[in-house]
Structure 1
Amino acid sequence: MDERVSLAQLARRLEEVVGELRGIPVEVERLDDNELVRQQIARAAATAAELRAMHPIGSPDKGRQEQQSRRHVLDELRRGMAMRTIVHASVLDDPRKAARIRELHASGDLHRVIDEPIQQLLVFDHAVAFVRITPVPRSPGALMIRQQGLIANLIDLFERTWARAREVNEPTHRLSPREREVLALIAEGRSNGAIARALSITEAAVGKHVASVFAKLELPTTQDDNRRVLAVLAYLRGTAR
């Protein structure tokens, strides 16, 4: 599959395929009820050995529901399920969600983070996949897919996205989008003045962003180290994939 083809486009195409194949048996089922979606996901998870997941935003669940979700994931990991999850970088802007993700990552649900838009996706083994009917976060319903050709394409899309994504524990995830822009320009060797011109902001604003980058990356002022170089090294570790 071409890397330029987004999951959103694929989801729309899946709907078109279902419409085009009227009268021909095809293993794609539309589930309009969210409770039915949850039941089918739980049924697939009960026997699966592997899960690939993409989440564009954090779970809306709070309190007891979130704790139940966390315990369920940990139970499946103890059972032996292999899990890999890709989340959008914006999820880590919420300290509570970031802490939960890092806990799950340490427990074996391996997470990576990506800046580009992604859509909700669950693939259990090579057997069944779930894609939102409408490629909008938290929209109702899902397509339950058992057609092997479509599942193979979804797995290929996941693996390509996983290869481009960054490790969840990279310190650059603590940076704001603007701070990541500034750090990327520092990595190109630009001065604060050049960065200011590139981003159409003042040089004083650049200085504040650079100071914040140093603080978030825990790079104190010392006589022995060049913080600008150390920040670039952190940036390269987080993006060179």
Structure 2
Amino acid sequence: MEEELAALAGRMEGMLAELRGITADQRAVQEIERVDDQQAVARLIAEAVESSYELRAMHPIGTARTGREEQRSRRDVLDALRRGMTMRTIVHRSVLDHPGKLARLRELHSAGDLHRVISEPIQQLLIFDRAVAFVRITPVDNTPGALVIRQQSLIATFVDLFEQTWAKATDVSEPPDAIHRLTPRELEVLALIAEGRSNGGVARALSITEAAVGKHVAGIFAKLDLPASEDDNRRVLAVLAYLRGGAR
């Protein structure tokens, strides 16, 4: 599943690169429109929300919003749900580190906008009724503009990507595993420890100092709630948590 998902995500990135080139050349492509003005993108999305009955959404690390924007977004989602729209949303797991955002997502989840979280990087994507998709022009958070896509074969690929990502993601209402609190570097260190390497071996593998490894190991123990104990081997317990969490 992970290899298939990675391959599909790579295919999507390749297609987006080609699409950016097409729109940059200003060719007449009726089913692929590049919209650089963010207010125009917002209007098109608002029109799609009002006329559609199904939404699949993926959001990378949370976009910065003002309190007023958050309230308006929440109100729009709740209004659409009351109207009968079916919504499923995938967000990056980093949202779990923000209590306010997590509480909002769980509220929307309970109201019917079903949310799941995933650790892997994801593209900003909205798909309405399998009819139109909005994709961020560049895969960088907070950048303006979007590609508005009505080409059915592309939309079918985006739907496949969403469904495979959804199947792999975790329900936002489920308590997060402690392993997901670790940073990417801490996960690298823990993966090498799981291979049986000492701190010195980890340091050589990652081209960092042994002192730096020690700090990462201490951080791992703290985040996994593994206090020093004469009865337990914290390295073994950390590796067991790593394996149970399905980390890669």
| TM-score where L is the length of structure 2 | 0.75
Of the structure 1 ranges 147-156 and 198-207, higher mean CA displacement relative to structure 2 is found in 198-207
Gap change, CA 1:134 and 1:195, over 3 Å in 2: closer
Residue aligning to 1:41: 45
Paired letter, 1:144: V
Specify the alignment match of 2:144 in structure 1.
140
Could you say if the C-alpha distance between residues 68 and 208 of structure 1 is closer, same or farther in structure 2, counting changes exceeding 3 Å?
same
* Contact 1:166–1:238, Cα closer than 8 Å, also in 2: no
2:45 paired with 1:29: no
Deviations 1:15-48 (A, max 9, x none): 4456899567x42233232112112212222344
Identity %: 58
Aligned to 2:17: 12
Match of 2:157 among 139, 146, 153: 153
Q: In the alignment, which residue of structure 2 is the partner of 1:219?
A: 226
SS at 2:133's partner residue?
strand
**Structure-2 residue corresponding to 1:185:** 192
Counterpart amino acid of residue 85 in structure 1: I
Number of residue-to-residue matches in the alignment: 238
Matches of 2:79 and 2:194, distance apart in 1: 42
- Residue by residue over 1:152-191, the C-alpha shift from the partner in whole angstroms, topping out at 9 and shown as x without a partner, is 0112233344455566623223222221211121222322
| Cα drift, residue 149 of structure 1 | 1.0
Structure 2 counterpart of 1:65: 69
2:174 is equivalent to residue 170 of structure 1: no
Match in the other structure for 1:121: 125
Deviation, structure 1 residue 83? 1.0
Per the alignment, residue 51 of structure 1 pairs with 55
Change (3 A) 1:23 1:214: closer
Q: Secondary structure at the match of 1:58?
A: coil
Normalising to structure 1: TM-score of the pair?
A: 0.77
Q: Aligned ranges for residues 69-108 of structure 1 at < 5 Å?
A: 69-77=73-81, 79=84, 81-87=86-92, 96-97=100-101, 100-101=104-105, 104=108, 108=113
3-state DSSP of counterpart to 2:90 = strand
Contact in 2 for aligned 1:86/1:165 (Cα 8 Å): no
- Aligned-residue Cα RMSD (Å) equals 3.5
8 Å contact kept, 2:61–2:91: no
SS in 1 for 2:74: helix
The verdict on how the C-alpha distance between 1:105 and 1:85 changes in structure 2, with shifts beyond 3 A counting, is same
